[in-house]
Amino acid sequence: EDQVTQSPEALRLQEGESSSLNCSYTVSGLRGLFWYRQDPGKGPEFLFTLYSAGEEKEKERLKATLTKKESFLHITAPKPEDSATYLCAVHPISGYALNFGKGTSLLVTP
């Protein structure tokens, strides 16, 4: 059975304090791994897709990396506006829809 586990569940950072969010996955075959950002009361917003181990993608203060068993979302020098829930999802070869983890709730304080 495909599984996606995100850690930590919640993370509090001071502004400028870099850290990483983890997404570990178990899937029979991976078509893609996705990261989304979700603000309270809103729909998720697409950030990155990673397709193969070793791949990296960056956007502003965010950098996503992928291995065969996990993905990391690195946040460099975060700002309060980076506060949100970050969702990881896998697109399995055997399935049609994305399977989501429970998310990491990030709070960045000034």
Our finding on whether 103 is near other proteins (CB under 8 A) is: yes
Our finding on whether 79 is near other proteins (CB under 8 A) is: no
# chain residues binding other proteins, by CB under 8 A:
24
| Residue 36 vs 72, nearer CB to other proteins | 36
Taking Cα atoms as reference points, which of 36, 15, 20 lies closest to residue 78? Answer: 15
Taking Cα atoms as reference points, which of 90, 110, 109, 106 lies closest to residue 8? Answer: 106
Subset of residues 37 to 66 that bind other proteins, contact rule: CB under 8 A: 41-46, 49
Tokens of 55: 């791949």
Our finding on whether 31 is near other proteins (CB under 8 A) is: yes
Question: Binding residues for other proteins, per CB under 8 A?
Answer: 4, 9, 31-32, 34, 36, 41-46, 49, 87, 89, 91, 96-103
